[in-house]
Amino acid sequence: MATPQIDVNADAGESFGRWPLGDEVGLFAFVSSANIACGHHAGDPSTMRAAVQAARGAGVAVGAHPGYDDKAGFGRRAIAMSLAETVDSVVYQVGALAAICASEGVPLRHVKPHGALMGAMCRDPELALAIATGLRSAGFDLPMMMAPTPALDAVGAAGLPVIPENAVDLDFDDDGINIIEPRPAAKDPELVAETAVMVASGRASTVSGRSIAMPVRSVCVHGDRPNAVAIAAAVTRALAAAGFEVRSVEPWT
């Protein structure tokens, strides 16, 4: 019987100028994919390059992490934008990171929306499909990493690549979508690790107490949580103990 595989992804590159956020060197030792902020919700060109270099050094797959242009709210507040404006913003951000990746000889592997943008896309199949289509039209034939929702299904049904994922250091609503924390606090690494094993096995518990299907191929830990490295280490250990091989994944199409 083949060993089950699961990707562990982490949001990274979220420092800005002189204000550091997160320990990427420590974090990248325990994950297989990194979603690097593209300068709108967080990050700047030099921070993006440093994150790409750190991921390359750790052998971690690199993805783009576009969000709303909202540094004060860290992209966790919804911004009123038209469909076309949102597509243009995402294409712009992915293009910026793609240029840095190319100059560092690092392939860009996926796109994972951030924060409030992720929530908006998960709840709006039209938006998710428009963004995925816009990226392909711009030459970025990259899998969209999103929660397993009707929006993800719509992207996949259009013949565009997807990777179903969800964060295991956040709670879930009854639709299987993460509930955003405006300011992430430290969490018990072992409890998060228990959630990771459950989610990797295809189930999740919601805040209302329901058990729902969660067919993911990747689980996320957030790099801006104060004890993110300890959480990532506990998650990786627990997944290995449960019989999973942690590695970056190819998309579903």
d(CA 155, CA 157): 6
d(CA 164, CA 121): 13
Residue 108 one-letter amino acid = L
Answer whether residue 38 shows pLDDT above 80: yes
Closest CA to 162 of 146, 138, 178, 140: 146
Q: Where are the beta strands (DSSP E) in 147-210?
A: 162-167, 203-205
b/e code 173-208 from CB counts within 10 Å (16+ = b): eeebbbebbeebeebebeebbbbbbbbbbeebebee
Answer whether residue 251 shows pLDDT above 70: no
d(CA 168, CA 153): 21
d(CA 84, CA 229): 37
* Homologous superfamily of domain range 5-246: Glycoside hydrolase/deacetylase (3.20.20.370)
Domain residue ranges in the chain: 5-246
Answer whether residue 157 shows pLDDT above 90: yes
Q: What is the pLDDT of residues 174-185, one digit of tens each?
A: 999 999 888 889
User: What DSSP designation does 13 have?
Assistant: -
Confirm if 84 and 94 have CB atoms less than 8 A apart. no
18 by Cβ neighbours in 10 Å (0-12 / 13-18 / 19+) ranks as exposed
d(CA 150, CA 122): 8
pLDDT at site 184:
87
Answer whether residue 81 shows pLDDT above 90: yes
Q: What is the pLDDT of residues 22-33, one digit of tens each?
A: 899 999 999 999
Q: What residues have CB less than 8 Å from 122, skipping those under 6 apart? A: 128, 146, 147, 149, 151, 152, 175, 177
> What mean pLDDT is predicted for residues 202-207?
97
- Per-residue pLDDT band for 252 (boundaries 50, 70, 90) equals low
pLDDT at site 8:
98
Question: What are the helix and strand counts (H, E) for the chain?
Answer: 8, 10
pLDDT at site 253:
47
Predicted model pTM: 0.94
User: What DSSP designation does 47 have?
Assistant: H
- Per-residue pLDDT band for 75 (boundaries 50, 70, 90) equals confident
Residue 232 one-letter amino acid = A
Three-state secondary-structure class, residue 157: helix
Bridge partner list, 222? 11
Q: How much is the mean pLDDT over the chain?
A: 95
In this structure, of 19-23, 29-33, 59-63, 247-251, the range with the lowest mean pLDDT score is: 247-251
User: What DSSP designation does 106 have?
Assistant: -
Q: What residues have CB less than 8 Å from 183, skipping those under 6 apart? A: none
